[in-house]
Structures are given as C-alpha cells and as structure tokens.
Amino acid sequence: MPPSPSSIVIGVDSSTQSTKAAFVDAATGRLLAVGRAPHRVTGEAGTRESAPEEWWQALREAVGAGLRECGVPASAVAGIAVAGQQHGLVVLDGEGRPLRPALLWNDTRSAPQAVALTATLGGPGAWTARTGSVPVASMTAAKWQWLRENEPYAAESAAAVRLPHDFLTERLAGVAATDPGDASGTCWYSTATGAYDAELLGLVGLDEKLLPPVAPTGATRIGSLTPAAAAQLGLPAGIAVAAGTGDNMAAAVGLGLGGAGLLDHPVLSLGTSGTVFAATRTRPADTSPALAGFAGADGTYLPLACTLNCTLAVDKVAALLGLDREDAAPGGEAVLLPYLDGERTPDLPGASGLLTGLRHDTTGRQILGAAYEGAAVTVLRALDEVLRACGLDPADPEVAARPLRVVGGGARGRTWVETVRRLSGRPLLIPDAVELVALGAAALAAGAAGGRDAVAVAAGWGTGGGRELPAVELDLATWRRVASVLDRVSGGFPG
C-alpha cells in the first residue's frame, strides 16, 4: 500500500448534472478517492435550470463520500478549489440565498437577447475586441438580459450575481470572488483590460457592485474555509480556499497546459458538450464568431469553441434505436446532425436533430454512426479556428503533427475515439488520468495552499500523459458529406 500523504488537496468538479470531489496527494498527484453526488436539471424545450442549493448539497455529499473512501484523516486536507460549469446565471438575495433556479449554459431562451446585444454594440467585431467573444444564448450577459426582460422582479431584487463556481466558492470561504477564466465567459469581463467592462455592464443594466471581485488567477488564495462550511463538510476550518475557475479552464490546468506547461497544443473534450481549445499567450481578439476568446486560469488565454450536443445527444440516438452506444458503424450515405438541444456552434439555438441521406439498405448501426460523425465534425470544424486564434497556421506541418488531446467521457469510448481519429486525420493522445477537471481544480487548491503555480503543479504530477495513437488518413468523403449538410443548415460555418 502506498504511504499516506502528508498533505491532501480537494478538487471539486461541479458539472451540469453531478458533482465530483477528487482527493489528491498534493506532492505526487496520486488520486486517492473521488466522491460523487448527482444534482438535477429541469426544464423543457429551451429551458435548462438547476437549484444552486442542490449544488451545495451535492458538494457536501461528494466531499463526505470522498473522505470515507480516502481513509485518511480530514486533518491532512490543506486546500480546496471548485471548478464549475461555465456561464450559468445565479441571482442571490441579501442573505446569499438564490432568488430563483440558476439559468444554465445550455438554456437557449436568451438567444434573441444575444442577437440584440451583438447589434447594439456594433456587431461581432466590437465584442471580440473587448471580450474575445460574441454573445450567444449560453453567455451570462444574454441570460441576465433575458431575466431583466422576462422576470424583472428577480433582476431588480438581486443583491448579488454569481457564476456557478462563484456561488460554491463563496459558500466555502465566506467571501465573494471569481477568476479571469470563468469571468471571461460572461461577456461583461474584458480580456483586453483584465477587468469588468463598465460600458458593457451599462449595456445590460448591471451594477458592478453585484459582481464578485476578480482574483489574479484561479489558484489565488481568496480566503479560508469558514467554521460553518467546515462543519458541514467534515473538514478542518481555516484550510486554503482557491478562487477556482470554469470547467474548461480547470481541464487545461489538469492537462498541464498553460504558461508553466505546454502552450498552443489543441484539446478536444467529449462530454455533454463538445469543446475544442488550446492554452496560448496570444490574446484572441479578432476571432471567428464560432470561437470564444476566453482567459485561462493561470494568466494565459484559452480560445475555445463549444457545441451543445455531444455524448448525451449520441446516447439518446442510441437509446431511440435500441442499440448500445458502441454498436455503431460508419454512416455511409446517412448524415445525422444530433442538435437535440438547439446548437451553439454553429449558432442555431432553435435547431433540432436532422437526419438525411437514408436508403433502403441503411442500418440502425449506420444511423448511430452518423450521429457520432455529425457531432464530431461539428466540433472539429472549429479546430483550425482555435489554432489560428493562437497565432498558428493549421497547415504548418509542425502544427499539424501536434497530437490532439482527447478528454472527457467520450475519450473512454472506442467509437468516439475512432470517429475522431478518422475525421481529424491527426495523431491523438488519450490521457491516462481521469477526472481532469477535478484534478485541475486540485492543482489550483495546491497552488493556493502552497503559493505555487497551478500549471507547474499539474505538470509535475504528470496528469497530461497517456496513450498515443498515430494519425490515420482523413476520411474526406464523410467529412465533405457531413460538412455539406452543415453548411446548408447554418449558412456556412465557421462564419
């Protein structure tokens, strides 16, 4: 049995549907235990909401489960950090209680507000110059504007406005704080100035006093675990609480990507959503509307494209067909765009799933394979845009030879990996480490507890290493078939 660690850090991944608490040896990065707890998402059509109090209860349950599994005394815990789902809008009263359920990132009701905000400031270029991103339905500014127009009492009664990870961090430390990474997904934080943008806040009628201060990095120690939170979690009061960050930023830290690690290496995350991103020192300021020019958790930048429909949508298609998710074959002539929740990239919030190209000899396994292909091509189309946002030429042989790191739940699925492999034409690297978001949060906690660079911590842990797969020839016929349908429904993407 490995020796007991002298110091443990906890990384919390509060995602769309569950919370995970990873207990990690701060010195070696050894994953000691992972506690888990679910929480609910409610809503139909474009509505997606969750009760923030359920996130807190799930965090408590996950930490408790992890402590029991870990088998070491709570006194060994030195720090904690939260990585949360991005963009969600949490409005609180003067006692810190939610006024209503949180509007989640995949709630598409705010699409009209996003369009109006984009036009009001002068178009996409005016937004990317300031924030790096163009408002879409997922962005917090659009959700706040929706709330103002549709539930003005809730907006007017708000004493505080938070992102999901901010809400949980404040419960831990008793002080309000966020970080540049998660703040950059609001569309009221400027990556150009590293601060909230007064003009954009005025545009959406939001008083900056309602927002949390922005810590320099996600690893900044913003306070200590309060006695009240410690009692609920079964942890020692006074341990370090890091500012934390958004889930994508934490995944980058967990992979050792950033200023103290690898830069300009692309990542594909296959989860409920599909994302492609890279850590870079180049600030994305003139990007395609398909990209979000986020900040990283460590002072770098994280250009990213995100789709709404990935593993969950493909699993739904498999269930409709009565097939196991791995019982798929290449789609043949069939094309399936599994936009079951609308789509963010391309910006089609009112879209639904589309199936075309059926023949008498099309099989159910091919239809399922076409769902994989449609989801994969949709997110992979933005890969070159991410590289250009890093200041790179995607056609440069050295850039093309950099392996695409594939992470998330889909990275554990044979069909997902092989579909990405033949539709990217790139070498792949499948990290051995699991729970990379939680591991990234644990590295932030270690940074806060020890005054260290979180990316350097994660790089030292070696969490980014894994199985390498050589490139195979690009399946150009499938790519062109899916891309042609995608172009017809989106008017050309990326735009």
Specify the CATH number for the domain of residue 189.
3.30.420.40
Q: Is 465 helix (H, G, I), strand (E, B) or coil?
A: coil
| 338 and 326 Cβ atoms separated by less than 8 Å | no
| 81 and 441 Cβ atoms separated by less than 8 Å | yes
Domain coverage including residue 179: 8-247
Q: Is residue 100, in this structure, part of any structural domain at all? A: yes
Helices (H), 429-474: 436-450, 454-461
Ordered per-residue pLDDT tens for the chain, 495 residues: 565 677 999 999 999 999 999 999 999 999 999 999 999 999 998 999 999 999 999 999 999 999 999 988 999 999 999 999 999 999 999 999 999 999 999 999 999 999 999 999 999 999 999 999 999 999 999 999 999 999 999 999 999 999 999 999 999 999 999 999 999 999 999 999 999 999 999 999 999 999 999 999 999 999 999 999 999 999 999 999 999 999 999 999 999 999 999 999 999 999 988 999 999 999 987 667 779 999 999 999 999 999 999 999 999 999 999 999 999 999 999 999 999 989 988 889 889 999 999 999 999 999 999 999 999 999 999 898 999 999 999 999 999 999 999 999 999 999 999 999 999 999 999 999 989 999 999 999 999 999 999 999 999 999 999 999 999 999 999 999 999 999 999 876 554
Q: Is residue 131, in this structure, part of any structural domain at all? A: yes
Q: How many domains does the chain have?
A: 1
Q: Is residue 312, in this structure, part of any structural domain at all? A: no
Q: Is residue 338, in this structure, part of any structural domain at all? A: no
Q: What does the alpha-carbon distance between residue 124 and residue 21 come to, in Å, rounded to a whole number? A: 38
For β-strands 404-407 and 428-431, DSSP reports them as parallel
Q: Is residue 86, in this structure, part of any structural domain at all? A: yes
Q: Is residue 313, in this structure, part of any structural domain at all? A: no
CA neighbor of 380 nearest in space, from 476, 287, 251: 476
pLDDT at 237: 98
* Site of tokens 């705010």: 110
The 8-class DSSP code of residue 28 comes to T
Q: Is residue 116, in this structure, part of any structural domain at all? A: yes
Q: Is residue 481, in this structure, part of any structural domain at all? A: no
Write down the catalytic residue from 179, 182, 197, 247: 247
Q: How many CB atoms lie within 10 A of CB 213?
A: 13
Examine the residue annotation and report whether 432 is marked as an active-site residue of this protein: no
Q: What does the alpha-carbon distance between residue 127 and residue 6 come to, in Å, rounded to a whole number? A: 47
Reading the block at residue 195, the tokens are 């601060």
